[in-house]
Amino acid sequence: MHAAVRDSRQEADSLGRGRDRRRSATGRRRYHFHGPGVAYAATLVVIMMGAINGQNNVLFWLFGLGVAGLLISGILSGAALMGLVVEREMPAVGTRGEALTVRYHVRNRNRIIPSFAMTIEELPGGENSADGPTWRDHFPGMVAFAAHVPARGESTAEATSAPSRRGLATFREFRVSTTFPFGLTKKSVTFRQEGELLIRPRCVPVNETVLQGRGEGQGQGRLMRRGRTGDEFFALREYVPGDGMRRVAWRSSARLDRVVVREMASLPARRVLIVAAPLREGSEGEACVEGAAGLARAALRRGLEVGIAAADGRMLVAPRSGERSLGRCLDALAVVEPGERLIMPAVQHGDSVVVVTEGEGRSVGAGVTSVRPRELGVQVEPRPAEQSDTTGLIGRVIARMRGAS
């Protein structure tokens, strides 16, 4: 799944926009009950009852004018929406906490009637739909406004919002509504257009201590490490029992009149594998992912080959370098999910592994650096205050009312 998402994001980057099925189907049209219209209709009922009981011609005239205004409002608002074609255009990717803009291209095919005061809003879908759109989990809302679209003309409306959660946000249906001209009747038309938007984690500045000695000035003596295996000569030292005969420097031993062996040096690892291992959802787990993103950017700036792995041992991105590698790493980190177990992926000899996790005292194996977000300098956002049951109930009722409208 993650590979498919990553491939789709790379394809979207090349196209310059997100995965949007550009043609939206013909929308469903309907009328809505709303406060001003209900109050107006109740007033007409009172006027009608007064006119019938009092046989007052003025009240009959008022009732007739009121009904005429209601009909005209319904006809004009409906006619203004009959010839609309709306298409959604969204960016390829977004970043958590940073505002992004979704554009709606509105085209009016009516030859005479223009459209005014149109509100365009994304629909969250039914609560019981398992395969419904998920944008509501990432955005607080998505609403745009188009003031005027002339007959046989076009216009663009924009909705700007900052995602509060990383991951894959899917879009499906959006609704165009208006109460023009009198605000008495509300009519809407719903369009269906599939779309996906990948929300990446933020690349926060991190403490690069865990990257010291990696990728800087390769080949310089100050960065080389002593070791039994290596490709570079480091120094000569006295022979000790256990040294292999192949390591004996025979010419230097003859010149110094004692047996010396070559001490080799291994260069710092050029490949870094970053394992994002959040244990739970919430601010602490999100800090792990953002810390991994910051480490990936810092390592790439040092010229290292950076790869990303999940806590369950899956290799999400193979170690690579270059400008495009950061985008691949962020796309992979966008879909990382918390896990209870940490399984180290298979790595090549000499690779450096950094595990970013909020757990304490976890055994991750030899040659692996385990670091917590706070050690990287990543600030853990405070948990939002829990609302009372009454507030939550009212919020759910309001959400249901909005969805029903």
pLDDT at 331: 94
Least confident of 115-124, 183-192, 268-277: 268-277
Average pLDDT over residues 98-116: 91
pLDDT band, residue 126 (cuts 50/70/90):
low
pLDDT at 221: 34
Residue 29 has pLDDT above 70, yes or no: yes
Percentage of the chain modeled with pLDDT above 90: 25
| pTM of this structure | 0.71
Task: Show the 3-state SS of the chain.
Answer: CHHHHHHHHHHHHHHCCCEECCCCCCCEEEEECCHHHHHHHHHHHHHHHHHHHHCCHHHHHHHHHHHHHHHHHHHHHHHHHHCEEEEEECCCEEECCCCEEEEEEEEECCCCCCEEEEEEEECCCCCCCCCCCCHHHCCCCCEEEEEEECCCCEEEEEEEECCCCCEEEEEEEEEEEECCCCCCCEEEEEEEEEEEEEEECCCCCCCHHHHCCCCCCCCCHHHCEECCCCCEEEEEEECCCCCCHHHECHHHHHHHCCCEEEEEEECCCCEEEEEECCCCCCHHHHHHHHHHHHHHHHHHHCCCEEEEEECCCCEEEEEECCHHHHHHHHHHHHCCCCCCCCCCCCCCCCCEEEEECCCCCCCCCCCEEEECHHHHCCCCCCCCCCCCHHHHHHHHHHHHHHHHC
Least confident of 6-20, 22-36, 58-72, 123-137: 6-20
Residue 384 has pLDDT above 70, yes or no: no
Residue 12 has pLDDT above 50, yes or no: no
pLDDT at 324: 87
pLDDT at 32: 76
pLDDT band, residue 280 (cuts 50/70/90):
confident
Average pLDDT over residues 229-258: 79
The mean pLDDT value of the chain amounts to 78
Residue 265 has pLDDT above 80, yes or no: no
